């Protein structure tokens, strides 16, 4: 047999081994061929492919360059050379090499696939998607092209388009469980966890050991409120991969939602023991410790999370709340300004349009200037911070207050107010603007100098008189009652906190006291139903007069409060309203208190008439109720 025939036979054998994945055996034969024929183009470039597959990128590049000296018109070599350069992180050179391949053969599909890979690596996702679209047009039955396109679309937030790409990949390859998993994730992100769950289950039938998919199934169940089932999925994933960090993280979150905070901390501890640089676990452990009022540990973990990932705004925000709660107003108010950068807040504040009008504090004289104060966050926040209207007015400003529509009538007679408008309505010309809750920071307020002159709100005197007549002769002390805060269906992340803040009406049985008449200030379908059901069941707690049908807005509530002697409330806007009216308020407060009520205090620097009854331990409403019941008797 001639030498050329022997070399050809060896090459066929080597290619066969190569295709079977026996890279080392193929390499040896390619090298043997080159000893006989150093200019054998196929052996040279295929050796480059072997080293590329072994991630030996420098060796791969040297063989591709050697092949190009023999034949520089082969698109596949230029394309593979681009991937070797990508592996060496020489991205611009790699991109140029792939572009050369495309010029040589515009129909060589693999070049567009490789180009997309390089573009994705350097963050040019949109250009990578365009390259993949070309690849998919040339190879319409290549499932990986659509899969990677789906991943890129997903990463750029184009979830519906990503879903289409994953669905196409699954049509081409019906057992493509990775695509099913990613499709399920898109559906979860689109708030369709129930549909996402079906795709995770399909993927797991095909690959039961797919631990990432088990973790994602847990996320879907968690979003559906099925926390115990979610934990079972995380445990199953961890049984397969005991170092699956995200499963520990998510399991901890689910445990917190089940109020098993100590066990949640153990999950975060485990994640940190596996990866001491896992910023997310420090953040979650900090929040869990904060819930248990372990502020020293919490602050240390927030600091560590920021050290590891200084770009995560949520950590600065949470640390601000902790600092405020601990009474460190100087640092707390400064960090509270980070709220503007939170993802959920960017659009609601829309600061870019108003940047040139932003008021930055007393260094900018307000005399005869008009300043627009913009309400933010909840109704209670606006009631609490609208006290600053008078402060700015005494500094010479004409104050225009933009508030949530339900508060417009209540706040229209604030001292020092020039004009009030509802959010979204046209505002008059102004010289400056400021977000309402930035004022303590800009004015340098500490605990000792909060503007706490009360009342700073006044009820409509005609409505006060109308309520006086409606209530009739005074035969007992009148106490207003609020046991549940407002439900926000669009903010599921707040639901666990709401459950901790609210108290079941039936638990207030011991409030029954001779000489005291209770009046419900409660609004909301569920708590109002509680009251109706209890009365129908002839419960032996205090009789509570229901005024829900007569409380059409905050001005009605304010007028009713003016006819009461005391308001007992959980942490709601009604408590703020009563405090702003100067009415005595007994606040039933959860253990993991809101920052504004501080720690270890029964009074409030915000409202001189407040008395705070805080749970001595998590979920312990019984102690709170019993203390209040004793004080009612006194």
**Do both 465 and 538 map to the same domain?**
yes
The structure's pTM equals 0.85
Alpha-carbon span 380 to 573, nearest angstrom: 4
Determine contact, residues 166/181, Cβ cutoff 8 Å. Answer: no
Determine contact, residues 479/517, Cβ cutoff 8 Å. Answer: yes
320 found inside a domain: no
441 found inside a domain: yes
Average pLDDT of every residue of the chain = 92
Q: Per-residue DSSP letters for 488-557? A: -TT-GGGHHHHHHH---GGGGGGG--TTEEEEE---SHHHHHHHHHHHHTT-SS--EEE-GGG--SHHHH
We report the CATH number of the domain holding residue 400 as 3.40.50
499 found inside a domain: yes
**Do both 438 and 466 map to the same domain?**
no
362 found inside a domain: yes
Which of 396, 420, 449 is the last residue in one of the domains?
A: 449
Q: Per-residue DSSP letters for 250-285? A: HHHHHHHHTT-HHHHHHHHHHHHHH-TT-HHHHHHH
484 found inside a domain: yes
H helix runs in 54-176, sequence order: 57-70, 75-87, 91-104, 109-121, 125-138, 143-155, 159-172
Determine contact, residues 291/261, Cβ cutoff 8 Å. Answer: yes
**Do both 360 and 416 map to the same domain?**
yes
622 found inside a domain: yes
**Do both 440 and 471 map to the same domain?**
no
411 found inside a domain: yes
**Do both 545 and 590 map to the same domain?**
yes
pLDDT tens-digit map of 181-197: 999 999 999 999 999 99
Angstrom CA distances, 438 to 243, 382, 442, 446, stand at: 43, 12, 6, 13
Alpha-carbon span 452 to 445, nearest angstrom: 11
Determine contact, residues 187/163, Cβ cutoff 8 Å. Answer: yes
**Do both 366 and 491 map to the same domain?**
no
Averaged pLDDT, groups of 10, the chain, 634 residues long: 63 85 87 88 90 93 92 94 94 94 93 92 91 92 93 93 96 97 96 96 97 97 94 98 97 96 98 97 97 96 97 94 96 94 66 84 96 94 97 97 96 96 93 96 94 96 97 95 76 74 93 95 82 80 91 96 98 96 98 94 96 96 97 94
- The per-residue pLDDT for 1 is 45
Determine contact, residues 585/578, Cβ cutoff 8 Å. Answer: yes
**Do both 357 and 487 map to the same domain?**
no
**Do both 506 and 425 map to the same domain?**
no
Q: Per-residue DSSP letters for 179-209? A: HHHHHHHHHHHTT-HHHHHHHHHHHHHH-TT
168 found inside a domain: no
- The per-residue pLDDT for 513 is 95
**Do both 390 and 433 map to the same domain?**
yes
**Do both 507 and 576 map to the same domain?**
yes
Beta carbons within 10 angstroms of residue 424's beta carbon: 9
We report the CATH number of the domain holding residue 544 as 3.40.50.2000
**Do both 386 and 479 map to the same domain?**
no
Tell me the three state secondary structure of residue 628. Answer: helix
- Structural domain boundaries, residue 553: 461-633
Determine contact, residues 571/497, Cβ cutoff 8 Å. Answer: no
Q: How many structural domains is the chain composed of?
A: 2
Tell me the three state secondary structure of residue 367. Answer: coil
Determine contact, residues 592/292, Cβ cutoff 8 Å. Answer: yes
**Do both 362 and 488 map to the same domain?**
no
């Amino acid at each position: 047999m001639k030498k050329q025939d022997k070399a050809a036979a060896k090459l066929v054998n080597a290619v066969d081994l190569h295709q079977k994945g026996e890279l080392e055996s193929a390499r040896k034969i390619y090298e043997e061929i080159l000893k006989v024929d150093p200019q054998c183009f196929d052996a040279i470039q295929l050796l480059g492919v072997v080293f590329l597959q072994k991630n030996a990128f420098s060796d791969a590049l040297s063989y591709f360059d050697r092949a190009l000296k023999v034949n520089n018109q082969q698109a596949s070599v230029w394309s593979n050379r681009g991937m070797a350069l990508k592996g060496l992180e020489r991205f611009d050179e790699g991109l140029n090499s792939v572009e050369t391949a495309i010029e040589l053969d515009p129909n060589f599909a693999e070049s567009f696939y490789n180009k997309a890979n390089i573009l994705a690596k350097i963050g040019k996702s949109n250009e990578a998607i365009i390259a993949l679209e070309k690849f998919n047009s040339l190879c319409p039955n290549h499932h990986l092209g659509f899969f990677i396109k789906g991943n890129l679309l997903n990463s750029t937030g184009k979830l519906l388009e990503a879903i289409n790409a994953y669905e196409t990949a699954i049509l081409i390859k019906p057992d493509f469980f990775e695509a099913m998993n990613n499709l399920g994730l898109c559906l979860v992100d689109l708030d369709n966890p129930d549909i996402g769950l079906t795709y995770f289950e399909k993927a797991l039938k095909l690959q039961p050991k797919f631990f990432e998919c088990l973790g994602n199934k847990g996320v879907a169940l968690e979003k559906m409120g099925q926390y115990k089932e979610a934990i079972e999925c995380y445990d199953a994933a961890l049984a397969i991969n005991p170092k699956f960090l995200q499963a520990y993280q998510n399991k901890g979150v689910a445990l917190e939602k089940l109020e098993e905070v100590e066990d949640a901390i153990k999950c975060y501890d485990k994640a940190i023991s596996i990866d001491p640089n896992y910023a997310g676990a420090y953040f979650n452990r900090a929040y869990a410790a904060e819930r248990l009022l372990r502020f020293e540990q919490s602050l240390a973990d927030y600091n560590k999370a920021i050290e590891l990932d200084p770009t995560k705004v949520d950590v600065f925000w949470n640390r601000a709340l902790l600092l405020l709660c601990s009474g460190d107003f100087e640092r707390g108010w400064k960090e509270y300004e980070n709220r503007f950068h939170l993802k959920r807040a960017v659009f609601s504040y829309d600061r870019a349009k108003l940047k040139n009008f932003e008021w930055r504090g007393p260094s900018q004289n307000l005399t005869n200037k008009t300043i627009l104060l913009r309400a933010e966050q909840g109704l209670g926040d606006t009631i609490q911070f609208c006290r600053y209207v008078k402060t700015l007015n005494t500094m010479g400003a004409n104050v225009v207050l933009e508030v949530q529509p339900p508060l417009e009538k209540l706040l229209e007679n604030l001292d020092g107010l020039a004009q009030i408008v509802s959010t979204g309505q046209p505002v008059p010309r102004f010289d400056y603007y400021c977000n309402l809750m930035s004022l303590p920071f800009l004015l340098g307020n500490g605990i000792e100098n909060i503007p706490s002159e009360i009342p700073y709100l006044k009820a409509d005197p005609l409505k006060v008189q109308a309520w006086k007549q409606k209530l009739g002769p005074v035969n007992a002390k009148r106490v207003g009652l609020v046991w549940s805060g407002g439900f926000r269906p669009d903010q599921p992340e707040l639901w666990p906190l709401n459950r901790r803040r609210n108290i079941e009406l039936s638990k207030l049985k011991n409030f029954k006291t001779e000489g005291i008449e209770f009046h419900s200030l409660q609004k909301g379908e569920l708590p109002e139903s509680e009251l109706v059901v209890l009365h129908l069941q002839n419960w032996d707690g205090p009789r509570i007069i229901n005024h829900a049908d007569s409380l059409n807005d905050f001005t009605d509530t304010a007028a009713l409060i003016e006819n009461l002697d005391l308001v007992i409330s959980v942490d709601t806007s009604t408590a703020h309203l009563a405090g702003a009216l100067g009415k005595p308020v007994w606040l039933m407060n959860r253990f993991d208190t809101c920052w504004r009520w501080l720690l270890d205090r029964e009074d409030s620097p915000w409202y001189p008439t407040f008395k705070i009854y805080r749970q001595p331990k998590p979920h312990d409403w019984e102690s709170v109720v019993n203390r209040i019941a004793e004080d009612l008797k006194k």
